[in-house]
Structure 1
Amino acid sequence: MVKIADIELGEFPLLLAPMEDVSDPPFRALCKEQGCDLMYTEFISVEGLIRDATKSVEKLDIYDYERPIGIQIFGANIESMVKAADIVEAAQPELLDINFGCPVKKVTCKGAGAGILQDIPKMVKLTKAIVDRTNLPVTVKTRLGWDDNTKYIEEVAERLQDVGIKALSIHGRTRKQMYKGEADWTLIGAIKDNPRITIPIFGNGDIDSPQKAEAYRNRYGVDGIMIGRAAIGNPWIFREIKHYFATGEILAPPNIDERVDAARDHLRRSIDWKGPKLGILEMRRHYTNYFRGLPGVKEYRKTLVSEYEPETLFKVLEEMRKIYAGVDTLLV
């Protein structure tokens, strides 16, 4: 049984990675239904939180059906991070997660996200300040290092554990790599082999199939896997991996009814939570994967990613249900 502090997550938990404009409540609901064991919110700016900025505060929204859930924050100023920890604790998640992995320039140039990988002592000091401040279990998500010459993740893992974090998720790329190239899990495996490490270690990066999930689980010995981009428009990946672990069989891909139902549910929840304009806009990145593999789907997709009227979008989805009824497809 994998546990973060007193939170039981099962024998080999599957986690949803925090993704900006993706890991929101509407999408998290679908992932939870498909077997995701632990989810995190989109990352939240601590400066936005302490200024009570609407966009930041809205991301604190969590629901009972999502539990256990962690709220993830990012920032570079220790005082601001500590103040934000109080706000997060008041929202009553199960976990507080610190983002030390976001590679986006507007974040890293301020020394936040993966930017702090250039200052490991500050990274440790900031983490300790939050651990000391909050009653919530604190976890961290980070990368191997800033670049190929600064892959200090083995040392970082020990030092963060020593100041009190309860779990560590590691993306197998450096900040310089962004999301390019292949994720290197070798150092993640080395951390799991370190007898000093007693907290759960979760691997992240490039897991896009049940077969790969099993291969990486066996090869690197991680306590669980965090899935990010492969879940976009494909919440079924969690149930597919669990089915493969349990039976060794590849689960049949979702049929058209499942795909349309998921897209409709996601769209409805997105509109309810964000309002029609933003809810429709932020759904668009999901449609390609929801309907990947359908013959002649390009014309429908054009409408789905350009239409602004909710009623029209729901009609298009129902039309797709009828047109593609009985069509055998694969998510590829």
Structure 2
Amino acid sequence: MQIGPHKIEGVVFLAPMAGVTDRPFRVLCRRLGAALAASEMVASNPALRETRKSRLKRDHRGEPSPRVVQIAGADPGTMAEAARFNADQGAEIIDINMGCPAKKVNRKLAGSALLADEVLVGRILDAAVAAVDVPVTLKIRTGPSADQRNAVRVARIAEKAGIAALALHGRTRDQHYRGEAEHQTLAAVRQVIDIPLIGNGDITTPAEARRLLERTGCDAVMIGRAAQGRPWIFREAQHFIDTGERLPPPAAAEIQAWMLGHLRALHEFYGPVQGVRVARKHIGWYLQGLPGGEAWRRELMGVDQADRQLSLAAEAIAAVTGCVDPAQPVVESAH
């Protein structure tokens, strides 16, 4: 699959998720098979550009190429400037967020709220594409609501604007993450555009990833919440897509090494105090649904020292990973 000058080796991508896809998580997922991983959503507002939070979001040190920064906003000029700024900072692909259903984003008429104004969508895409020499991609939903599914029209607007690839989540804005993602719209969009199309929504197993590709004609799939606590899902899905065979489950020692490496990277990236706090949700995801995992999670939530968090997490994951049933699909959280 080609995105601008970048040949993407693999068809399973990590979906950008606010508060989750920071550099430590992106690097881990890439190492475990994700072919592409975008940053957390970065606000286009220049007043927020130099906050610590924004600087961390666009930190790509040590990250494999191509480096993808996702931007969000509702003003064409500001979005064009944000695209230029991030490209100058080393982003090799700019991704535009028109898929986030969060109220705090939609209140500013950004994210998936933009889908209700197709003229503005076109103006933003035209401005961003013209502003940079790197590829610009787009992530959308099927429409604002069930009676306003306009993804086919938006996809045509995107292709005309020069968008290099389109990711589509199979829910409307007002669904948030409720109900089941539908794939009929993905298939319909595939029929009207020639640029790469990435399918997203409710992909929790390797078999579901392959089935989406076969049923919709998408070029790639994007996995989000199912990768939380299970970043090795990318290599499992890619192997199943390629061969039709299921990889054996990772050994307990591998899971422990990946988890502890992830926690150490979080401590280093954020600093020991914030790193411990950020690591807590990831620990919860690693332990979710495993026998005894909830008791370990509760104990670990009270730990506020980095060294103690690492040692207790090592003990917890060693205690629960011997009971993993690889045939069971991951149940997505409500995050």
TM-score normalised by L of structure 2 = 0.93
- 2-side partners of 1:98 and 1:49: how far apart? 19
- 1-side partners of 2:53 and 2:178: how far apart? 29
Q: Of 264, 281, 294, which residue of structure 2 is paired with 1:268?
A: 264
- 2-side partners of 1:109 and 1:84: how far apart? 20
Specify every segment of 5 or more residues in structure 2 that has no aligned partner in the other structure, as ranges: 329-335
- 2-side partners of 1:292 and 1:188: how far apart? 31
- 1:230, distance to aligned residue in structure 2 (A): 0.5
Q: Of 241, 245, 248, which residue of structure 2 is paired with 1:249?
A: 245
* Secondary structure, aligned partner of 1:149: helix
User: Does 2:324 correspond to 1:329?
Assistant: yes
Which deviates more from structure 2 when the two are superposed, residues 252-261 or residues 87-96? 252-261
Residue identity (%): 36
Aligned to 2:207: 211
Contact 2:256 2:318 in 1 (8 A): no
Aligned to 2:174: 176
- 1:69, distance to aligned residue in structure 2 (A): 2.2
* Secondary structure, aligned partner of 1:43: strand
- 2-side partners of 1:49 and 1:234: how far apart? 36
Contact 1:293 1:330 in 2 (8 A): no
User: Does 2:299 correspond to 1:303?
Assistant: yes
- 1:119, distance to aligned residue in structure 2 (A): 0.8
Cα distance change, pair 285–51 in 1 and its aligned pair in 2 (3 A):
closer
Contact 2:169 2:201 in 1 (8 A): yes
Which amino acid is 2:51 matched to?
A: A
Cα distance change, pair 23–30 in 1 and its aligned pair in 2 (3 A):
same
Contact 2:101 2:173 in 1 (8 A): yes
Specify every segment of 5 or more residues in structure 1 that has no aligned partner in the other structure, as ranges: none
User: Does 2:1 correspond to 1:5?
Assistant: no
TM-score normalised by L of structure 1 = 0.93
Cα distance change, pair 297–52 in 1 and its aligned pair in 2 (3 A):
closer
Post-superposition Cα deviations, 1:198-231, rounded to whole Å, max 9, x if no partner, equal 1000000000001111111111110000111011
1:128-207 to 2 correspondences below 5 Å: 128-194=126-192, 197-207=193-203
Contact 1:23 1:41 in 2 (8 A): yes
Give the aligned length: 327
Aligned to 2:20: 22
Contact 1:131 1:163 in 2 (8 A): yes
Contact 1:46 1:80 in 2 (8 A): yes
Contact 1:49 1:57 in 2 (8 A): no
- 2-side partners of 1:236 and 1:174: how far apart? 28
Aligned to 1:225: 221
Contact 2:139 2:167 in 1 (8 A): yes
- 2-side partners of 1:51 and 1:245: how far apart? 40
Aligned to 2:255: 259
- 1-side partners of 2:181 and 2:70: how far apart? 22
* Secondary structure, aligned partner of 1:254: coil
Aligned to 2:106: 108
Contact 1:103 1:178 in 2 (8 A): yes
- 2-side partners of 1:60 and 1:84: how far apart? 12
User: Does 2:315 correspond to 1:319?
Assistant: yes
* Secondary structure, aligned partner of 1:42: strand
Contact 1:50 1:80 in 2 (8 A): no
Q: What's the C-alpha RMSD, in Å, of the aligned pairs?
A: 1.7
- 1-side partners of 2:151 and 2:319: how far apart? 51
Contact 1:131 1:138 in 2 (8 A): yes
- 2-side partners of 1:49 and 1:92: how far apart? 20
Q: Of 273, 281, 291, which residue of structure 2 is paired with 1:277?
A: 273
Contact 1:50 1:84 in 2 (8 A): no
Which amino acid is 1:193 matched to?
A: Q
